[in-house]
Amino acid sequence: MLYKKVVKRILDLLLAVPMVIILFIPLIVIGLIIKFTSKGTALFRQERYGMDSKPFLLYKFRSMTDEAPVKANSDFDDITSYVTPFGMIIRKTSIDELPQLMNIIKGDMSFIGPRPLAKTDSKVLFLRKHNGADQVLPGISGLAQVNGRNNLSDEDKATYDAKYAAHVSFRVDMLLTVETFVSVMKRDGIFKETVVDDKESDNEVVRDGKEL
């Protein structure tokens, strides 16, 4: 499909590059605020798995304290107790995801696609590999994120991801972009409501400050 293989990538670059240029100063300011308001580095880096289940290094702004234990978000009884005051703001507004613009420019990610998962999400990674969900670039947002985010089971996430991979189109991406914007404005699913999942439906290992 021409859109999936060529047009989608071109659109990603046409949007991501200008965004990085326009947001360069704000991104620097946000990084400095993180650095000077809590112990640890401004950026969080972690190995995630993307297209064809290949690993790559994902970038985010650090939102957790330096003392956060090394475990998946879903294993926390109260993950918010480890989120810094400024980290809470950037999580609720999804500003912590902005460094992933560099992942998009590098070709690791797209704006829309299945969320890139860490090795702690071995079950979902296994399901994706077998249902074809890993045949597209991972995204900052996707079908699973606008249909429950934290509150989806592993099976449901993998099913949504496979459904997106099988129906990639400009129309679908535009609809998901609009739904993502609405979800961010409503702050839906930022923290889990049940024990089934984590903040961004990817069970990230949350030792943010130890990666750099």
CA 40, chain centre distance (Å): 21
% of the chain beyond a pLDDT of 90: 60
pLDDT tens-digit readout, 151-206: 788 899 999 999 999 999 999 999 999 998 888 777 655 555 543 334 443 344 33
pTM of the model: 0.82
pLDDT tens-digit readout, 35-49: 999 988 999 999 999
pLDDT top residue among 77 and 87: 87
Task: Mark residue 27 as left, alpha or beta (left: phi above 0; alpha: psi -120 to 50; beta: remaining).
Answer: alpha
pLDDT of 33 higher than 90: yes
Averaged pLDDT score across all residues of the chain: 84
- Comparing C-alpha atoms, which of 152, 140, 153, 154 is closest to residue 184? 140
The whole-angstrom separation of Cα 52 and Cα 49 is: 8
Residue environment code for 83-96, b if the CB has 16+ CB neighbours within 10 A, otherwise e = bbebbeebbeebbb
% of the chain beyond a pLDDT of 70: 79
Q: How high is the pLDDT of residue 132? A: 94
Query: Measured on CA atoms in the order 56, 60, 195, 192, is the torsion positive or negative?
Result: negative
